[in-house]
Every structure is written in structure tokens, then in C-alpha cells.
Amino acid sequence: MKKTALAVLVVAGVASPALAGGLDRSGMGISALFQSGNYAEVGMTFAQPHVTGSIAGLSSGNMASSFFMPNMSVKMDITDRLSAMVQFEEAYGAAVDYTNADPLYPIPPFTASLSGTQTSVLGRYRITDNIAVHAGVRMVNMSGTVDFTGGLFPITYNSSSGVGFSAGASYEIPDIALRAAITYNSATSHNNTIVDPTGGLQTLATATGAYKMPQSINFDFQTGIAKGTLVMASVRWVDWTASTLNTQTALGSITHARDSFTYMAGVGHKFTDNFSAVAQVTYEPSNGLLASNLSPTDGKIGLSLAGVLDVTDNVTVTGGVNYTRLGDATTVTGSSFTGNYGLGGLFKVGIHF
């Protein structure tokens, strides 16, 4: 089951990470680095959040836009103990749309988007058959837009690149598919230049000013518990309270009242020689604090179901769906956001070569 089980782990909540704390999207998983032999994968995640609130009978409309997230990884063995991986993903993001709000809703109609793509180059060295270390560099590119003019004169935040590093270690017992891995990701520094096509009517600033995308730690665990059955769990911490991004507009700064802790537990089972399935639960606790109008939810719990098909000995196809219940929240302007949720899906192709 080893090859298929490892492929299953890439599902990791399907679109649930995309609805996680702060601006987190991909969760920065590195499971492809642990694949046997030379391996490449390409995938697409889709998320469709439904987030509405109201105050005094006035509705915000659905203020969370749908989005796609592409990802790609290539891992190669250099020697029998040394391997390397290049990975591309959308690590951070946001998509806000208040243009469907009722006319007197206390937030002006606007749209905003933020994208943080990440390219990583990681190496892994097996010290023994059970113990390995991994490390590498990451480049994060942050960019975005804010539009108060219905598409006529959007403010552009030009791309700002920041370089960080990742480092970690793992312990494995291959005979029972056991693996425990921990990875630290450093913060990256950014300062986006701003272009206001109205010549300063929307903002007088020419840059956001310096800010950081936060450091994080991922811990992942898996083990076989019976023939053809694997259990898995993970914890991700992100230091969001250390990250403040000033939009230099009427929206003010994007701040975070707390760090985020995201927990996942799941089980995978091999039903036939070619097909496995996985079920996973993802949980993020609420904090009970007033929420930002840019992210008016508090905590989440989600369920993901996925299937993994070995099309050939070398080609694996993964497809999955996710439902996430987003926690109720009251915003700083008094709006109540309740009963919200997100839907998602994933499709991925993996090739051993």
C-alpha cells in the first residue's frame, strides 16, 4: 500500500486549507518529497465559500469569492540517500467582494484580492534508513488589488518577492508505513509598491510599507494500523499575530487577533489493488473575538472524502470533495455572520518516472 497511501496524504483536507486561518491557503505541505523514486505531480484545488452576514436587516451578500489554486511538484533522487524537490503553490490568498451588499450596509461596495505564490527548492538527506533531515529555500511573491470603482480604476499592489527557508526532520519505519515529520518555515519580508490610476484620489501612498508573511510549523504523522489501512494526523501553527499588512486605503490594515492552529485527522483504506479512499476531518478552533470585515468567520470544521486510483503502475489520479462549516462571528462593525460554509474539490495527477 505504500505508494498509494502516500499519494492519499496529498489530499489533506482537499479545499479545507484554503478556508483556513489568516490568509493561509495551501498549508505548505511537502508530502511529494517523501514519495519513492522520481515523482512529479500537478493538481488543481477549487474552493467556493459562502459567507454572508447582516446588521439591522441589511445583508452583506456573499462577500467571499470562489477561486482556483494550481500546484505542481517534481521530486528526484540524486543518490540513494539524497533527493531534491521543486514545488510551486499558492501559499496565501484572499478574495473579498462586497459589491452585492444592500445599499445601506455599513461597508462600502468594493472588491479586493491578494495572492501569495510560493516556489520552494528542498533537499532531503537520509542519515539512516529511519532518520532523515530536509531543508531548502522558498520564494514568496505577494501581489493584490483593491477596487472601489466597479472595475474602472482598481488599485494595484505590484509583486513583492521575499526569500525564506524551510528546515525539518523525519522518522520512518517503512515496514508499517510509519512516518513522523516536522517542518519549520521562516517568515518572509515584503513591501509592495502601489499604483493608483486616479493619481492619488484613492490613496496617497506609493507603497504598503514593510511587512512579513509569518513563520509556521507543520507536524505530520501517519502509520499503518492493519493490512491496507493507514491513519494520519497533522497540526499546523502559523504566527499570524506577527503579520500586519497596511493596505494604505480606507480598508486600513489587515491584522490578525490570534495565531492559527489547524488540526487534521483521517484514515485511508486500500479497497482493491488499484483503488484507495480516504476520509479526513479538519478543525480550527474559534477565539470568540470580534472579526475583521475582510475575514468574518471564527474557526471551522471540515470533512473531506477522496479517492485515489492507480491508473498504471506509474500513474495515480486523485479526486476529492470537501465541506467545511465556517464558525459564526460578529465583526468589528457589529454585523453577524452565521451559518456559513465552504465547498471545495481537488483533482491531481501523480507520475513516478
Q: What is the CATH number of the domain that holds 282?
A: 2.40.160.60
Mean pLDDT score, 227-253: 95
State residue 257's pLDDT score. 85
CA distance 38 to 84: 10
What's the domain range around 93? 2-352
What is the model's pTM?
Answer: 0.93
- Residue 303 clears pLDDT 80, i.e. is over it: yes
State residue 173's pLDDT score. 96
Report helix, strand or coil for 194: strand
The mean pLDDT of the chain is: 93
- Residue 330 clears pLDDT 50, i.e. is over it: yes
CA distance 82 to 20: 33
CB 43 within 8 A of CB 70: yes
Residues 6+ apart with CB under 8 A from 111: 65, 96, 97, 98, 99, 145, 146, 147
Q: How many domains does the structure of the chain reveal?
A: 1
Higher pLDDT, 269 or 12: 269
Q: pLDDT for 140-196, tens place per residue?
A: 999 999 999 999 999 999 999 999 999 999 999 999 999 999 999 999 999 999 999
Which residue do the cell numbers 444592500 mark? 102
Q: What is the pLDDT confidence band of residue 7, given thresholds at 50, 70 and 90? A: very low
